[in-house]
Amino acid sequence: MSPNMLAIVTLGPLALGAVLGVLLDAFSTRRAAIVAVLIGFVVSAGMSIGSVVQRSLAATAWGVLHVGGFFATISAVIAVVGGLAVAGGSASMVRREWGGTVAGLMAFGALASIVMAGSRDITLLLIGLESAAACAYALVAAGKDARAREAAMKYFIQGAIATGFFVFGMAILVAVFIPTGDLEGLIKALATGPAVSVATAGLLLVFAALAFKAGVAPFHAWAPDAYETAAPESAAFLAAGPKLAAVTILAVLVSFSATGRLELPISAVLAALAVISVLVGSIAALRQRSYMRMLGYAGVAQVGYALIAIAATHSFMGPLFFTACYALAATGTFLSAAAFRRVDPAWDGTIRGLAGMSRKAPWLTAATAILLISLAGIPPLLGFWAKLAVFVVAIGAAYNAFAVLNQGVLGFIYAGSAAVGIVGSVVSLGYYGAVLRALYQTDQPAADAVDAGSDKTTPPAEDDSVPEGASASSIVILIAVLIVAVGLLPLLTGIPAIWGVFG
């Protein structure tokens, strides 16, 4: 199959599903709209997975978009988590006003995220970046209450500033290094070019913009409010697809440009961002009493682990393996909020309010517990292998810098970021454990319990909201089964076999 045809059969179903979702919803055929979007996700994911199974080589479609190979894996993960998010929220979206449009926006966002991750042209990269951002703003605003609109406006204003950083940074790099706008040519020029200070300045601006899109501290202010006020299925998608795409392009840029004289400044900046993200996300998550808001801050810490690996190694497979594993588990945890609301419509969105959930919905509770334990990095679940990969590459890079390259500063940076990451993983047991404790708590909390760490909690469902159907519970359980099954594979195939992924 030619690269152009592979791009069409991979991206075409998503584009068609998104258009049909919006159009059919406009004519009040909401169920058909959501079905069309789901079919688009299924076909796109199937074609991407087929390309991965066949081990098709990476190629370029129309000279501007990478398809096949590693990029097929990224598009498969984005399509899968997007489809799971739509399926998990389908019962709610069928009954909600503009539900088909929301599903279509998620398909548009997935399409833009795939384009962003596979772009080899700077103009196409900017189009994908901003298209995904526009869908994200709309998905947050679709929460329909005043807090959702406020969160969307804050998100939009901060996103516009981040876009300015990206355009300014890329303008510097293109003007100095390669006027054609070819991303691969730019990366090669950065690795060999003499203007180190100019390259560093331009890259830092680009990194700041991508860090915002991924929710990296200190560019994370939009994330907790957006995830808390958006519908659970929208938050599930935002925490997975666009974040994976942003980390992908960041990892690709760093992997091929952070060489020679650029290695120290870029590694130092990324390691600093990683440490800040882990510390800020972990400490803030400990103080939250809102379940969705806690997940938002936990996501800030999680993306910090990916940055640890990006800063420490020139191979981008390890960081992206971690981010893909997080995206899958995060999709399930955000969807669990919809399932909890169905089980207990009076749930106020707090962690304390989950008390007794194990009696009302034992299978849902067990599945959510598995996802949280995986996110905390407890063996033998998938999240453990993902975090282990991050720490192995970081510690290996530190050893190489100390013993082989004789670069003590780099070694200290890598070792220090790995140490902070390990401490952050231990701290994560506190906020994930708080949810587990509440889920299996036998007595109900006091009715007047308040949020000691934040004055913002998700309010009870309003009159115009509709309880999510059983689809959310089913998807959460399915994701938990996948997390367990894939996590056990290294024990069955041999642990050393998995390290080929990170080479």
- Tens digits of per-residue pLDDT, 149-189? 999 999 999 999 999 999 999 888 888 777 777 777 777 77
- Measured CA to CA in angstroms, residue 359 lies from 85, 351, 364, 437, 461 at distances of 26, 16, 10, 13, 22
Largest CA distance in the chain: 67
pLDDT at res. 465: 40
pLDDT at res. 500: 47
pLDDT at res. 470: 59
pLDDT tens digits for range 459-468: 444 433 434 4
Q: What is the DSSP letter of 165?
A: H
Q: Structure tokens of 393?
A: 């590459």
Q: What is the DSSP letter of 182?
A: B
pLDDT at res. 183: 78
> Nearest Cα to 368, choosing from 476, 483, 234?
476
Cα of first residue to Cα of last residue in the chain, in angstroms, is: 28
Residues 6+ apart with CB under 8 A from 100: 21, 22, 24, 25, 29, 30, 32, 33, 34, 37, 93
Residues 6+ apart with CB under 8 A from 63: 120, 121
Query: Is 357 within 8 Å of 343 (Cβ atoms)?
Result: yes
List the chain residues with pLDDT less than 50. Answer: 447-469, 497-503
Q: Structure tokens of 257?
A: 């440009």
Q: Structure tokens of 60?
A: 């370029």
Query: Is 148 within 8 Å of 235 (Cβ atoms)?
Result: no
Instruction: Count Cβ atoms below 10 Å from residue 346 Cβ, excluding itself.
Output: 8
Q: Is 411 helix (H, G, I), strand (E, B) or coil?
A: helix
Residue 411 CA to residue 306 CA, distance in Å, equals 18
User: Tokens 């489809």 — which residue?
Assistant: 83
Q: Which phi and psi (to 5°) does residue 367 adopt?
A: -65, -45
Q: Identify the sign of the CA torsion 20, 22, 28, 31.
A: positive
Q: Is 246 exposed, middle or buried (CB count within 10 Å of its CB: 0-12, 13-18, 19+)?
A: buried
Residue 198 CA to residue 318 CA, distance in Å, equals 29
pLDDT at res. 220: 92
pLDDT at res. 337: 93
Q: What is the DSSP track for 82-148?
A: HHHHHHHHHHHHHHSTTHHHHHHHHHHHHHHHHHHHHB-BHHHHHHHHHHHHHHHHHHHHTT-SHHH
Q: Is 236 helix (H, G, I), strand (E, B) or coil?
A: helix
pLDDT at res. 128: 93
Helix axes 263-287, 196-214, angle to 10 degrees: 20
Single-letter amino acid, residue 330: A
Q: Which neighbouring-strand residues pair with 347?
A: none
Domain ranges of the chain: 1-118, 119-502
pLDDT at res. 264: 77
Half-sphere exposure of 321 (CA within 13 A, CB side): 24
Q: Is 307 helix (H, G, I), strand (E, B) or coil?
A: helix
- Measured CA to CA in angstroms, residue 203 lies from 304, 311, 488 at distances of 19, 14, 39
